[in-house]
Amino acid sequence: METPDDLFQRLDQLNDIGASLSNERNLDRLLEKILVAAKAITRADGGTLYLVSDDRQRLHFQIVRTDSLNIAFGGTSGQPVSGKFPDLALYKPDGQPNNTMVAVDAAISGKTINIADAYTAQGFDFSGTRKFDERTGYRSQSFLTVPMQNHEGEIIGVLQLINALGSSGQVEAFSTADQRLAESLASQAAIALTNRQLVQQLEELFESFIKMINLAIDEKSPYTGGHCQRVPELTMMLAEAVNATTEGPLADFQLTDKDRYELRIASLMHDCGKVTTPVHVVDKATKLQTIYDRIHIVDTRFEVLKRDAEVRKWQKIAQGGSQIEAEDEFSAFCQQCDADRDFLRKSNIGGERMRDEDIERVRQIGQQYRWRNVQGEEAPFLTENELENLTIRAGTLTGPERETINHHIVATIKMLEQLPWPKHLKNVPEYAGGHHERMDGKGYPKGLKREDMSWQARMMGISDIFEALTAKDRPYKDGMKLSQALSILENFKNNGHIDPDLHAIFLKSGVYRDYATHFLGAQQIDC
C-alpha cells in the first residue's frame, strides 16, 4: 500500500515534470518527455502517446515505449513510428464513433478509462493487443487511458499507460492515485504541447515570411536567390563544426537549440535588404550591361566605321587613285577595327583586373575614332558613360553601382531593426548586419573590428565570401575551383578580412568539403 510519503514524492516529481515540459522547445522531445514522465509517476511498464490528426479523423501513434521488451519508437529513439503502427480511425465508414477502441473512446468521450485487466474487460476490442502478446510473449494487463485536452476544451491527444508495476515488480491495476496523477500530468502536458504547437506554427509562419522575401529576391534575380539559400546552409555547417571543437580559443563555444534557431533566422535574412537593389545592378554581367549589353552598340559603330571606310576606298579609286593602295589602306583599317573591337569585348567581360596600359588603350580607342550617328552628326566613338564602364579596373561595377550594391546591408540592418524581436532572437540584426565587416575594421557599413563582432557574425562573413567565390550560377563568372577558392580565402585571412580562428576550423573540420559535395559542380571539386 502506498504511503503518504510515497504520494508526496510523486507529487513533487509531477511538479518537476511540469517545469521541464514548459522549457522544452523540440516537439519530438516534448512528446517523449510526456510519455516517459507519465510512465515514471504511475510506474507503468509501457505506454503510447497518440496525437489527433489535423482533420480530427484519426489517432496517430507518436511515441511508443515498453521497457521490459526494450521497445522504443519515436522521439529520440532513432526508430520512426511511421509504418510500424497504423493510425486508429476515430469514426467508422458510416460516420459512427469507433469507440470499441479504448484510445479512440477516450479521445471522443474526453474521459479517462481505467481497466484492471484487458483480457476480462467488456465493451472494448483488444484483439490487436492479444495478437501483440502472442507474438512477443508479453501480457498486456492493466490499461490507463487519459485524454489530453487543451485550453479550448479540444482533445489533442491520448496518453495510454500499460501494466502498472507494484513494489515487487508484479503487474497490478492502476490506482486512483495513479489516475489522478496521470490526469494532472495530461493536463499540464496538453498545455505545454499546445503552447509548443502554437510557437511552432508562429515560427513556421515567420520562416514562410522570410522565404517569401527571398522568393521576391529570387524572382528579381535568380543569382541572388541561390545565394540567399546557400549561405544559411554553409553558416550552420560552420556553426556545428565550431560547436564540436574541443581545443583552441573556441573550445568553450556552445550552441543551444535557441542559439541555432537565432543564427539560422539571421542567415536566412542576411541579404533581405537586396529587395531595394535595382536588378540591373545586381545582375550586371558585363561592364556595359544595363537592361541589355551595350557592347553590341559598340560593335555596330565599328561596322559603320568599316562601311564608311569602304565608301572612301571606292571614292578614292573613282577619283583615279591607286586601287592597290586603296585596298591595302582599307584592309589595314578593318584589321585595326577588328583588333580594337576584340579588345573592347574582352575589356567588357570584367573577368581580369585591368592594367594601366589597358585602361589607356580604351581611352585611345574612344578618341581616335569618330562616327556619324543616325542623325548624321559626328559623335565621339565612346560616350563618357561607356568610357567610365569600360575602364572599370576590376569587376563590372562602377563606383556608384558598387555603393548601390553595398547599400543593401544598410537596408538589411534598417529593416531588421524595425522588427520587435523576442528575447531569443534579439541578436538577429547584429548577426545578419555584420557579414560585410572585416577583422581589421576596413569593412562596411560600420567599420567594426574583430573584437566588436560576435562569433556568429564572423561565421556568416566567411560563409558569405566562400559561397560567392564558388557560386556556379552568377551571370558574370563560372563557378570557381575549390582549390582556388580556398587559396583566396587564405589570403582573406592573412589580410585581416576574416577571422583566423574560424578559418582554421573551417579547414580542419572539412566544412568546405561537405559544402562542396552538396552545392558545387563535380568539375569544381579538385581537392
DSSP one-letter string for 483-521: HHHHHHHHHHHHTTSS-HHHHHHHHHTTHHHHHHHHHS-
Higher per-residue pLDDT: 285 or 391 = 391
The whole-number pLDDT of residue 171 equals 95
Span 280-286, average pLDDT? 73
pLDDT at 84 over 80: yes
Number of Cβ within a 10 Å radius of residue 104: 23
Of 127-136, 173-182, 350-359, which gets the smallest average pLDDT? 350-359
pLDDT at 447 over 70: yes
Percent of the chain's residues with pLDDT above 90: 58
The whole-number pLDDT of residue 373 equals 76
What does the domain layout of the chain look like in residue ranges?
4-199, 221-272+408-524, 295-396
pLDDT at 3 over 60: no
Kindly report, residue by residue over 316-337, the tens digit of the pLDDT.
999 988 999 999 999 999 999 9
The whole-number pLDDT of residue 13 equals 60
Q: Residue 238 — pLDDT band, cuts 50, 70, 90?
A: very high
Higher per-residue pLDDT: 388 or 196 = 388
- Phi, psi torsion values for 56, nearest 5 degrees: 60, 35
Q: Residue 32 — pLDDT band, cuts 50, 70, 90?
A: confident
pLDDT at 249 over 70: yes
Query: d(Cα 466, Cα 485) in Å, to the nearest integer?
Result: 7
The whole-number pLDDT of residue 399 equals 78
Of 5-19, 102-116, 138-152, 454-468, which gets the smallest average pLDDT? 5-19
Give CATH for domain 221-272+408-524: 1.10.3210.10
Query: d(Cα 129, Cα 346) in Å, to the nearest integer?
Result: 78
The whole-number pLDDT of residue 476 equals 53
pLDDT at 7 over 90: no
pLDDT at 2 over 70: no
Higher per-residue pLDDT: 251 or 9 = 251
The whole-number pLDDT of residue 152 equals 81
Query: d(Cα 180, Cα 476) in Å, to the nearest integer?
Result: 69
Higher per-residue pLDDT: 290 or 428 = 428
pLDDT at 228 over 90: no
pLDDT at 192 over 90: no
Q: Residue 8 — pLDDT band, cuts 50, 70, 90?
A: low
Mean pLDDT of the chain: 88
The whole-number pLDDT of residue 263 equals 97
CA quadruple 96, 100, 101, 102: dihedral positive or negative?
positive
Kindly report, residue by residue over 451-509, the tens digit of the pLDDT.
999 999 999 999 999 998 998 866 556 678 999 999 999 999 999 999 999 999 999 99
Domain pair 4-199 / 221-272+408-524, same fold:
no
Of 231-240, 391-400, 438-447, which gets the smallest average pLDDT? 391-400
The whole-number pLDDT of residue 10 equals 62
Cβ neighbours of residue 329 closer than 8 Å, sequence gap 6 or more: 313
Higher per-residue pLDDT: 109 or 20 = 109
Span 134-149, average pLDDT? 95
Q: Do 416 and 433 touch, CB atoms closer than 8 A?
A: yes
Higher per-residue pLDDT: 212 or 225 = 212
4-199 carries CATH number 3.30.450.40: yes
The whole-number pLDDT of residue 29 equals 84
Q: Residue 380 — pLDDT band, cuts 50, 70, 90?
A: confident
Span 263-284, average pLDDT? 84
Higher per-residue pLDDT: 202 or 225 = 202
**In terms of C-beta distances under 8 Å and separation of at least 24 residues, what long-range contacts does 89-93 make, across chains too?**
89/57, 89/58, 90/52, 90/56, 90/57, 90/58, 90/59, 91/57
**In terms of C-beta distances under 8 Å and separation of at least 24 residues, what long-range contacts does 238-245 make, across chains too?**
238/459, 238/462, 238/463, 238/502, 238/505, 238/506, 238/511, 239/263, 239/456, 239/459, 241/505, 241/506, 241/509, 241/511, 242/455, 242/459, 242/502, 242/505, 244/509, 245/505, 245/509
Of 25-34, 327-336, 411-420, which gets the smallest average pLDDT? 25-34
pLDDT at 15 over 80: no
Kindly report, residue by residue over 354-370, the tens digit of the pLDDT.
899 999 999 999 989 88
Span 305-312, average pLDDT? 91
Q: What global pTM score does this model have?
A: 0.64
Q: Residue 431 — pLDDT band, cuts 50, 70, 90?
A: very high
